[in-house]
Amino acid sequence: MKLTARLRWIAAPIVAVAALVLVAFGIRDTDTSWSSAWATAVQYPIYQNWSALGFTDQTVRQVIRLSQDGPQVRIRLSNRFGEYPLPIAAATVARSAGGASVVAESVRVLTVAGHAAFVVAPGNEIVSDAVESVGTVMTITLYFASPTGPATQHGQALATTYRANGDHTADPSATPFTERSQSWYYLAGVDTLGPSEGDVTVAFGDSLTDGFRSTPDADQRYPDQLAAAGHHGPVVNAGISGNRLITDSTVLGDSAIARFRRDVLEQPGVGTAVVLIGINDIGLSGSPGPDGIVFPPVSKEQLIAGYRDLIAQARAAGVRIIGATILPFAGSAFFSPAKELLRAEVNTWIRDSGAFDKVVDLAQTMAAPDDRTRLADRFDSGDYLHPNDSGYRAMAEVVAAALAR
């Protein structure tokens, strides 16, 4: 049953037609075309944040950090999982001044096809007009005058989003923004115009890419740390916490196979995908997920077929695909000897099959020296499954080295 039906939400009539905006994704036809500089993988609305109820006469201010700047930017907004037209009454971009504050003179009105108010059709994504860049740490502020219905979102942003009553899109002050969330709403991506240092790298996967248990508002996810680890070029994060390679979920996101095209291959300027996924398929195999559904045990053959599907999609699009081995997880709630054996078998295939264009052996890097089934203590966030900030830095160093070769 769809979320809106479960909520028994009835949309107010909306008499508007969205402007049609066409954009070519996944290609770069000149040296000064659009490149993705920030992105997130959008998900179904959930009850754990603001998305289930959506917004009415409220302003939402979201802070992001671009991996590459340029003279102009454009914003991609998504109503992919909305069932009704999404009316955006006003929108701005601005340079962040910390928290919900922005630099007053940097505020720019965001338009679509020249209109400051616009509608995003259900199931669609819309691209804004180009606007002068405000710097790499920026805010995107959206005002929803009319009811939105349940909101397309990204659950584990590890960044604070702020909400205020009324229209505060042009307000530089943090004072009206009294409510906070750790999710993103309606944002899909930010592109920059101008010469790029290289093709876009898309980090694709689950919570280990999403950066779960890294320090909030500190940009310590492994894709964020690639630049500090020596990688040159734009990087965007297409991780979803809890995501699985071969299983769809309204809570944990569409499967990696199902979302690979939109979240990787349709990123403007994409050249490389780094794939780290599979631990949730293994860990939740034969167990109930957070959506309450119990899934049958998954096999090595099923996972290998899933990886081969991603590889075929990437090759058909001319995108290099790098496979990463699955991290150790002994001691976590997921662990069992049978699941550890499955992880080992899958990792052996990733390393030795030659199916990927290149392999990054993160399992080797992150394992305890005296027990290869466990995360090293210095990298463990405390749940035996997710790295801490230092662990994500170690992952970034290995991935950056692979990208350079």
How confident is the prediction for the chain on average, in pLDDT?
92
How far apart (Å, rounded) are the C-alpha atoms in residues 356 and 380? Answer: 28
Structure confidence at residue 32 (pLDDT): 58
Structure tokens at 183: 């999710």
CA–CA gap between residue 11 and residue 123 (Å, rounded) = 15
The region of weakest confidence among 19-23, 262-266, 276-280, 344-348 is 19-23
What number is the average pLDDT over the span 104-110? 98
pLDDT for 195: 67
**How far apart are the C-alpha atoms of 254 and 271, rounded to whole Å?**
23
Spatial distance between the Cα atoms of 15 and 13, rounded to a whole number of angstroms:
6
Would you place residue 290 in the very low, low, confident or very high pLDDT band (cuts 50, 70, 90)? Answer: confident
Which amino acid would we find at residue 72?
A: Q
Closest C-alpha to 198, from 228, 221, 224, 231: 231
d(CA 253, CA 239): 10
Would you state the pLDDT for residue 196? 63
Give the pLDDT confidence of 308-335 residue by residue, as tens digits.
Answer: 999 999 999 999 999 999 999 999 999 9
Cα separation, 83 vs 372, in Å, equals 47
DSSP summary character for residue 265: I
Q: What pLDDT is recorded for position 111?
A: 98
3-state helix, strand, coil in the chain (%, to 5): 20, 30, 50
Question: How many CB atoms sit inside 10 A of residue 180's CB?
Answer: 11
* pLDDT at position 5: 35
Confidence of residue 182 (pLDDT cuts 50, 70, 90): very high
Distance CA 18, CA 191 (A): 21
pLDDT one-digit tens code per residue, 117-146 = 999 999 999 999 999 999 999 999 999 999
Whether the per-residue pLDDT at 14 is higher than 60: the answer is no
- Arithmetic mean of pLDDT, 377-404: 98
